[in-house]
Amino acid sequence: MINIEKIGIDVANQGHITNCYLVYDENKEAILIDPAYNSNAIISKIVNLGLTLKYIVITHAHGDHIGALEELVNYAKAKVIINKNDYNMLIGKEENYCDMLFVKQPNLNVDFIIPVEDGYSFNVGSLEFETINTKGHSSR
């Protein structure tokens, strides 16, 4: 059984809403997609639902999709899955608009990051996921 919780996050309290998602199975094993900002709101939702966060999936590395990433990795020790072409944006070696969006650039231990290619598969509990590269919003 798949469960999906949408969390609308106001990025840097600027009126820019980005949705992040918790996807979890019947045993409460979860992934988080795009931890936009406000780690406290996201962690509260994880705790209230009784979830164990296994992975954090980043659809693309713009600042409004990674604002709470560092705090969530530190909290859950979850691995970060991102398309290999956005890796340099994620670690701040290429422009990711963090400054423009008033979001702190995540400072991540690269051992937690899994750069993937199209078609990468992984399981979380009873759920199976596969990455699909959908170019367009970022340059990758």
Q: Does the domain at residues 3-130 carry the CATH identifier 3.50.50.60?
A: no
Which tens digit of pLDDT belongs to each residue from 51-76? 999 999 999 999 999 999 999 999 99
Per-position DSSP letters for 79-137, written without gaps between them: EEEEEGGGHHHHTTSS--STTTTT-PPP---GGGEEEE-TT-EEEETTEEEE----TTS
pLDDT of residue 139: 61
Whole-number percent of the chain with pLDDT over 90: 94
Cβ neighbours, 10 Å, residue 49:
13
pLDDT per position as a tens digit, 20-54: 999 999 999 999 999 999 999 999 999 999 999 99
Instruction: Locate the domains of the chain by residue range.
Output: 3-130
Confidence of residue 140 (pLDDT cuts 50, 70, 90): low
Write down the mean pLDDT value for the chain: 95
CA nearest 127: which of 6, 27, 58, 42? Answer: 27
Q: What is the pTM of this model?
A: 0.94
Judge whether residue 134 has pLDDT over 90.
Answer: no
Note the pLDDT of residue 71: 97
Write down the pLDDT at residue 138: 66
